[in-house]
């Protein structure tokens, strides 16, 4: 999958992933009104609103970007109808040629992680059949349980040519509480990064030189990004926290390798709720998808400028 | 919720939770045959088999135990039909008077953790309505992202009288890879344990003295259990790893407080697939639920003996 992702990043000249994290506060009124009229102010109604909203954004940006990253929590808050729309969103984005990164942050003891891996990026064996339950291309994984919790995902990556991004240094303000603590003089996130190298060693794509096992490092921590970039030369870095969380283009340069590759930057709110920003207000609510498109183009330019310097 | 859990543990004299972690290898053939005949060798067929299987076990053990712990990964591997059965299982167990601990191990940046918290133990606001999407009583939470990732769950616990168990020292063989590493001379799990105290301080139940914020500490690490028991006097400890993972009754004594409370021990495979063990083979496949009942009674006795010593 990393091969496909890198090729698409190159072809579209955009190391950008759009976070499809719908929220009823972001969904334009006209979509909500229609959905609630059809299915009520219910889980089903809200899920229908998410579906329409996502469809508009995917249609508007699919030609510009290599990947989308639906955050499953947003859908899970709507229970079954929400998860049906999560699944639909993944499939619809794939039909449009996008790589789908399921932001699921799963991780458990070995036999349980295996179920998550199989359910999200593999196939569940039922009698004589093997069935993909969710079928994302790449998922995010939490490393707190150690190798046991991660290797079942790696095994599925090998078998199915899928990928994972392991949480190393997350973008949130309190990520340092545990992740930055020093162990033998080095931060916990460095130890996790070394494990990322180890876990991914069997999955290096010969063409691009990158591993199916990548890492999540927040844009909000550029100094740590610099260290981690060098520590994990073969890992793609998924960089959340750009835009709404405070990360800027100029902060991102150190997340990339010399080849201009090695990182893919996520923006969620900044793209999907762009119509609420002054810069794109002219699009109006009805033009929310066009606003998202303009915001992607601006982000592309911002990254280009930052990477040229 | 901790109040209700403690009362039920006392009333039933059983600090035991049964892990409802179905697996097609555990489900008796007669249930699979019937389900596959009805819905095919599909996600739906497997989900139907899980439902029948769980119903039999819940009916057989509900009067003996205070709580069940469905592991959501087992259901998630079956996609939407599986998650429908997860929801059904939670509701059915609650109807039978059981506390439901959703073993979901979620955790993300703040705004995202809030969605998980709302979706699993709270209510999602949709227009004028507030709707419970999954409605477990307690969930497990991963602390790798720090306070940001946990406090949204605590907020929902306060508002809805629900509970969480935070992963502190997990039961799997590689849990020490990060969790045992020394930071200023103390293991990472001790630092997490101190945060558990802090996170739970606002949620102490006046009657029992226990907090809505508990901890997960594996039965497979009795020495660490001893340290953690003293470090978190007000936290209930959820103890996985008994039975199939190698934990024994005698290992568990240090997880309890002097009052005989403070811990609840999980067994999954050892109970739900008891009919496959030699000791309960006389029940046969058809009697799988009765075998589960006998295994609960034996576990109850094993714990009683261990705690008396």
Question: Which residues 6+ apart lie within 8 Å of A213 measured at CB?
Answer: A154, A157, A163, A164, A166, A196, A199, A200, A203, A235
Q: Which residues of A touch B115 (CB under 8 A)?
A: 73-74, 76-77
**pLDDT > 80? residue A139:** yes
Cβ pair A302, A249 in contact under 8 A: yes
Distance CA B153, CA B112 (A): 11
Inter-chain residue contact B108 with A188, CB threshold 8 Å: no
Cβ pair A163, A157 in contact under 8 A: yes
Q: Which residues of B touch A39 (CB under 8 A)?
A: none
Number of domains in chain B: 1
Average pLDDT, chain A: 96
The pLDDT tens digits of the residues spanning A88-121 come to 999 999 999 999 999 999 999 999 999 999 999 9
Check residue B168 and give its pLDDT: 98
Inter-chain residue contact B192 with A178, CB threshold 8 Å: yes
Model-level pTM? 0.97
On the 0-12 / 13-18 / 19+ scale of CB atoms within 10 A, A66 is: buried
Residue of A25, A106, A109 to mutate for B, most B C-beta atoms under 10 A: A109
Question: How are beta strands B186-187 and B182-183 bridged, if at all?
Answer: antiparallel
Pick the catalytic residue from A87, A105, A123, A226.
Answer: A105
Check residue B294 and give its pLDDT: 98
- Give a yes or no: residue B213 inside a domain: yes
In A20-38, which positions are buried (b, 16+ CB within 10 angstroms) versus exposed (e)? Answer: bbbbbebbbeebbeebbee
Distance CA A101, CA A71 (A): 9
Is A105 in the active site? Answer: yes
Inter-chain residue contact B174 with A148, CB threshold 8 Å: yes
Q: Which residues of B touch A169 (CB under 8 A)?
A: none
Distance CA A176, CA A173 (A): 7
Cβ pair A181, A188 in contact under 8 A: yes
Please state, as a whole number, how many other Cβ atoms lie within 10 Å of the Cβ of residue A247. 25
Query: What is the nearest CA distance from B208 to chain A, expressed in angstroms?
Result: 30
Question: Which of helix, strand or coil describes residue B101?
Answer: strand
Q: pLDDT digit of tens for each residue in chain B (309 aa)?
A: 999 999 999 999 999 999 999 999 999 999 999 999 999 999 999 999 999 999 999 999 999 999 999 999 999 999 999 999 999 999 999 999 999 999 999 999 999 999 999 999 999 999 999 999 999 999 999 999 999 999 999 999 999 999 999 999 999 999 999 999 999 999 999 999 999 999 999 999 999 999 999 999 999 999 999 999 999 999 999 999 887 666 677 789 999 998 889 999 999 999 999 999 999 999 999 999 999 999 999 999 999 988 876
Question: Which residues 6+ apart lie within 8 Å of B224 measured at CB?
Answer: B169, B187, B189, B217
On the 0-12 / 13-18 / 19+ scale of CB atoms within 10 A, A171 is: buried
DSSP B247: B
Inter-chain residue contact B79 with A143, CB threshold 8 Å: no
Check residue A241 and give its pLDDT: 86
Check residue B292 and give its pLDDT: 98
Measured torsion, CA atoms of residues B24, B28, B34, B40, in degrees rounded to the nearest 10 = 20
The pLDDT tens digits of the residues spanning A171-225 come to 999 999 999 999 999 999 999 999 999 999 999 999 999 999 999 999 999 999 9
- Domain hosting A283: range is 2-308
Distance CA B242, CA B175 (A): 16
Cβ pair B208, B6 in contact under 8 A: yes
Distance CA A72, CA A77 (A): 9
- Give a yes or no: residue B252 inside a domain: yes
Q: Which of B74, B149, B172 has its CB closest to that of A145?
A: B172
User: Residue A136 phi/psi, 5° resolution?
Assistant: -70, 170
Write down the residue that tokens 């334009």 correspond to.
A28
Nearest residue to A119 via CA among A80, A160, A81: A160
Inter-chain residue contact A119 with B42, CB threshold 8 Å: no
Residue A85 belongs to a domain with what CATH number? 3.20.20.70
Please state, as a whole number, how many other Cβ atoms lie within 10 Å of the Cβ of residue B308. 8
Q: Which of A42, A115, A143 has its CB closest to that of B131?
A: A42
Check residue B27 and give its pLDDT: 98
Question: How are beta strands A99-106 and A138-141 bridged, if at all?
Answer: parallel
Cβ pair B146, A179 in contact under 8 A: yes
Distance CA B220, CA B243 (A): 10
> Among A69-78, A86-95, A189-198, A242-251, which is the least confidently predicted range?
A242-251
Check residue A307 and give its pLDDT: 84
Cβ pair B61, B297 in contact under 8 A: no
- Give a yes or no: residue B261 inside a domain: yes
C-alpha radius of gyration, chain B, whole number: 19
């Amino acid at each position: 999958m990393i091969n496909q992702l890198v090729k698409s990043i190159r072809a579209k000249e955009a190391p950008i992933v759009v976070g499809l994290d719908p929220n009823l506060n972001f969904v334009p009124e006209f979509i909500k009104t229609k959905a609630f009229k059809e299915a009520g102010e219910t889980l089903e109604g809200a899920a229908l609103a998410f579906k329409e909203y996502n469809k508009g954004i995917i249609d508007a940006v699919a030609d510009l970007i290599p990947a989308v990253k639906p955050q499953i929590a947003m859908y899970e808050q709507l229970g079954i109808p929400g998860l049906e729309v999560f699944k639909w969103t993944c499939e619809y984005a794939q039909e449009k040629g996008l790589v789908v990164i399921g932001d699921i942050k799963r991780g458990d003891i070995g036999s349980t992680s295996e179920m998550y891996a199989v359910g999200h990026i593999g196939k569940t064996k039922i009698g004589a059949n093997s069935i993909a339950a969710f079928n994302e291309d790449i998922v995010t994984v939490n490393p707190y349980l150690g190798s046991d919790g991660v290797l079942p995902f790696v095994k599925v990556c090998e078998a199915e040519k899928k990928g994972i991004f392991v949480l190393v240094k997350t973008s949130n303000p309190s990520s340092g509480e545990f992740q930055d603590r020093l162990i033998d003089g080095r931060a916990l996130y460095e130890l996790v990064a070394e494990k990322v190298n180890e876990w991914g060693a069997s999955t290096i794509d010969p063409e691009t030189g990158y591993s199916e096992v990548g890492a999540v490092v927040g844009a909000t921590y550029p100094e740590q990004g610099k260290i981690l970039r060098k520590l994990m030369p073969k890992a793609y870095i998924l960089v959340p926290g750009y835009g709404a969380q405070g990360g800027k283009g100029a902060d991102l340069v150190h997340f990339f390798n010399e080849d201009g590759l090695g990182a893919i930057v996520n923006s969620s709110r900044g793209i999907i709720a762009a119509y609420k920003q002054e810069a794109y207000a002219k699009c109006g609510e009805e033009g929310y998808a066009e606003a998202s498109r303009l915001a992607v183009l601006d982000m592309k330019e911002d990254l280009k400028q930052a990477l040229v310097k």
